[in-house]
Each structure stands twice: as structure tokens, then as C-alpha cells.
Amino acid sequence: MRVTLWEFIGDYWWLVFPIGAVFGGSLGAAGKNLRKWDERRRKDKLELARIKYGAREAAAERARATKAEIERTLARHDAVNQRWLDYELDVAKLIDYPLITDMREPLTVDFHRARRDADAARPEDPEELRDPSVLATYREAVRRYESAFDTAEQEARRRRAADFSPAEQQALLRAKRFISLADDPAASYAERQSAYRRATRELDGLVVLPVATTEAFERRIAGALDAPPSSASPH
């Protein structure tokens, strides 16, 4: 005998409540688990975003720190170069502190070697210094250059012309006077030319003038030294 659904429900209406409770409980648990999963997924997304953003920020901070270190190291190198240039372009200063160019002195040799090493370690393109190993090598070379120059300069200033005999010290004084006259634009061509030649003779064997020093000095007074012979006074 076929029993319809409504007849079944009519006969067994009391089963509706326990079955409904079972299904209702299952659906409730499923909904609760779904909410937990959704919340966990939301938290995972936030954590991933935080990690990703933090990694980008950390990378940006490292890049900023590296850029600042590169700029500091380049500036330190340039500062020592300028300190040396103050000697190299000033003949009178070299006469006052002759040790700074005397390659018989170990401290002077160390300084000039460190200067060459620092120049060699400095890449033409500063972007190459973003490589940590390249930057570390260059930074150490600059540190040695600074230290070597400080030591050589201190010794040169301490000793000045003390290593020269009284006669040699007098020659150095005469050379300074001649250099001053040769550098005087108010003096005549003949006076400047003669003074420059006499200064170099006085310094011969006493003070080593680097090529860059003599070239810079001669350029500075080129208007006199390079004047046509017809404009020179006879002597």
C-alpha cells in the first residue's frame, strides 16, 4: 500500500522535532565552522599583507641606509683628496712642510700608497657601490687613506724643516720669497720668470715638487711665463 508524504507526516508528526533538531544542529555547526574558517582566512590575508609590506619597508630602509653610507664614504674620500690638494697646489705650503712629498719617508710612502688604493677602489659609477662587498672594500680603503694622511701630515707639521741644515733652511726661505714674487701679478714678466727659476734652483735637492704642483703653479702665472719673448725685458 502506497503511503503519501503527508500521510507519513500525519502519522509520524512527532518525529519532526528530533529530526529538525538534528539537521538544525548540523547546519548550525556548519555555519559556525564556516565563520571560523572565514575569520582565519581574513587573519591570514592580513598577516601576509603585513609580512609583504614589512619586507618592502625593510628593503627600502636597507636601500636608504646603503645610499647614505655610499654618500658618506664618497664625501670622506673627497675631503681627504681636498686636504692633499691644498698641499699639492701650494708651492709655499710644500716648502713649509717638505716631508709630505719626501718619498724617502715611510709615512709619506704609506700615505701615497693608500691614496692610490682608495682611488683604485672607487668605481666610476657610484651605483656599483650598492654591492655590499664593493662598498666594504672601498670604505676600508678610504679609512686607510684617512689614517695614513693624518699620520703623514702630523709628522710633516711636527718636523717642518727641522731635518735641514741651517744653510738648507736659508735656501728654503729664499725659495719662498722667490715663489711669492713669481706669483705676484703686479710684478713684471721678467721679474716673475726670473723669480720662478731661482726658486726652483733653491729647491733642487731639498724639496720634491710633484708634477701637478709645478704645472698648476705655471698655469697660474702663465700670462707671465708664456708671454712672447718680444715683451720680455732683457737680462
C-alpha cell at 208: 720634491
Return d(Cα 80, Cα 74) in angstroms, integer. Answer: 10
Which pLDDT does position 42 carry in this prediction?
Answer: 76
Which pLDDT does position 225 carry in this prediction?
Answer: 47
Which pLDDT does position 147 carry in this prediction?
Answer: 98
Helix, strand, or coil here: 108? helix
Does some domain include residue 158? no
92 in Cβ contact with 179 (< 8 Å) = yes
Does some domain include residue 218? yes
Does some domain include residue 13? no
Which pLDDT does position 125 carry in this prediction?
Answer: 95
Does some domain include residue 27? no
Return d(Cα 233, Cα 227) in angstroms, integer. Answer: 11
- Provide DSSP, 168-209: HHHHHHHHHHHHHHHT-TTS-HHHHHHHHHHHHHHHTTT-PP
Domain that includes residue 200, residue range: 164-235
pLDDT along the chain (235 residues), means of 10: 55 55 57 72 72 65 82 97 93 93 94 97 95 95 98 95 93 95 88 91 91 85 53 39
| CA distances from residue 152 to 25, 42, 100, 159, 210 in whole angstroms, order as listed | 90, 66, 7, 11, 16
C-alpha cell at 89: 697646489
Return the amino acid letter for 65.
A
Q: Where are the alpha helices (DSSP H) in 89-131?
A: 91-96, 106-121
List the Cα angle 108/118/64 in 5-degree steps. 140
Closest CA to 125 of 116, 137, 134: 134
Helix, strand, or coil here: 102? coil
Report how many domains make up the chain. 1
In the numeric block, the cell 675631503 is attached to 79
Does some domain include residue 46? no
70: number of Cβ within 10 Å:
19
Which pLDDT does position 229 carry in this prediction?
Answer: 46
Return d(Cα 138, Cα 125) in angstroms, integer. Answer: 13
Return d(Cα 82, Cα 76) in angstroms, integer. Answer: 10
Does some domain include residue 72? no
Does some domain include residue 98? no
Return d(Cα 211, Cα 2) in angstroms, integer. Answer: 122
- Kind and range of the H or E element at 67? helix 16-88
Q: What is the pLDDT of residues 10-58, one digit of tens each?
A: 555 555 555 555 555 555 666 677 777 777 777 777 777 677 666 676 5
Does some domain include residue 178? yes
